[in-house]
Amino acid sequence: MTNRPTRLLLNLGHALDHMFLLVFATAVTSIALEFGVSRWEDLMPYSVAAFFFFGIGSLPSGRLGDLWGRRPMMIVFFAGIGATAILTGLANSPLQVALALALLGCFASIYHPVGIPMLVQGSQRPGWAIGVNGLAGNLGVALAAVVTGVLVKYFGWRTAFIVPGAISIACGIAFALVTAKEEAPPAKREAAPTAPASTSMAQLLFIMTAAATSGSLLFNFSTNANYEMLAERFAAISRDPALLGTLLAAVYGVAALAQLVVGRLIDRHALKPLYAGIVAVQAALIALASFVDGWAFYAVQFLFMAAIFGSIPFTDAMIVRYVDDRMRSRVSGMRLAVSFGASSLAVWLIGPVVKQAGFTALLWLMAATSLVTLAVISRLPAAPRAS
């Protein structure tokens, strides 16, 4: 079981991971203005490579986590994502931004298949640990909105990458100092006793991957579009970037608390009815959001983001329940490589969809994605065993 300072830094790492991936989406209007791009939508595809490598990189990252060690991989994560964020802040053209973001995505891919298995190894309450970690990750999403909004307004978009980048490097140094060296990589440890599962590993991996893919699509649709969506639906009230960033940060901060509730429930109940119920509510709330604007939209945005964030812990919890710790990073890596890689499509689609059909069409596309997730969940085992 990891010590408290290590757990704290692992949770902070999750926050930084999600924050860095969304700085561009929050600052895109200012970046487009500096580089002479007339519409921010035309610049959004430049971040697709970051999300693609964030996904596909999970496969080698998970393998290295099990075979080389999770501690050294997390040190590489903190240092690498910090250095590439600084590099992004120093870019002088959209192409340079795209290349730097792609490299950032490679280092960002380390966290999920390595950091989460490291966090839950030996945990007596894995659902709660995953819930707290999910909260930390989504607070990172909130930080991306408020910190980027403030830094862009007062210091320019470049500082929104450079300042957090320096903080991440400092966290990597702290992690190396407080985290004990592993006696052996996870793959070389003795196997823990496990009970037989009611579903084969191949079937379970397919279900988890399909559910995670549709869920990741929805997460990317929402988190990458929420700032501009709120700016449009809130235009009659305010267009101030710092205010909008703060309002969106409040949405993410409060909505992320849903993961604590879900994490506790996962430790006590079967996953399938919990997961299905949350996703059904998701679809209904997103559909409702397409009909409202102003403060009403903002209120519904709180609710549908709580449902989106609340669905996040389930696939990680299933890996904890069904997969031996010696190979969790590799199984996570395989799942994430497909789900995150495919969900990078969402980032590419946002610009063209909004440009051609507006945010109402995007909201309906998000609602349809929730329904796909619900269909996949129907294939889950009826009663997953507790860990």
- Residue 142: CATH number of its domain: 1.20.1250.20
Name the pTM for this structure.
Answer: 0.77
Segment 287-291 shows an average pLDDT of 93
Residue whose structure tokens are 């996040």: 312
Instruction: Count the Cβ atoms, other than its own, within 10 Å of residue 1.
Output: 11
Domain membership of residue 170 (yes or no) is yes
Q: Which domain holds residue 332?
A: 4-186+197-377
**Which of 29-33, 134-138, 190-194, 265-269 shows the lowest per-residue confidence on average (mean pLDDT)?**
190-194
Domain membership of residue 191 (yes or no) is no
pLDDT at position 385 is 46
- Domain count across the chain: 1
**Which of 19-28, 245-254, 292-301, 368-377 shows the lowest per-residue confidence on average (mean pLDDT)?**
245-254
CA distance 160 to 10: 22
Rg (the chain; Cα; Å): 20
- The 8 Å CB, 24+ separation contacts for 87-90 are 88/24, 88/161, 88/165, 89/157, 89/158, 89/159, 89/160, 89/161, 89/162, 89/165, 90/158, 90/162
Q: How far is CA 242 from CA 30, 228, 363, in A?
A: 13, 13, 24
With pLDDT > 90 as the criterion, what percentage of the chain qualifies? Answer: 36
pLDDT at position 281 is 93
Structure tokens at 28: 């895109």
Q: Which pLDDT band, with edges at 50, 70 and 90, does 304 fall under?
A: very high
State the average pLDDT for the chain: 85
pLDDT at position 326 is 80
Question: If you average pLDDT over each of 66-70, 247-251, 314-318, which comes out highest?
Answer: 66-70
Question: CA 291, 295, 298, 300: dihedral to nearest 10 degrees?
Answer: -50
Collapsing DSSP to helix, strand or coil, 36 comes out as coil
CA distance 360 to 49: 26
Report whether pLDDT(383) > 80. Answer: no
Residue whose structure tokens are 């490579």: 49
Domain membership of residue 384 (yes or no) is no
Domain membership of residue 232 (yes or no) is yes
In this structure, which amino acid lies at residue 164?
Answer: P
Segment 222-233 shows an average pLDDT of 84
Domain membership of residue 142 (yes or no) is yes
Domain membership of residue 16 (yes or no) is yes
Domain membership of residue 382 (yes or no) is no
Of 374 and 327, which is predicted with more confidence?
A: 374
Domain membership of residue 257 (yes or no) is yes
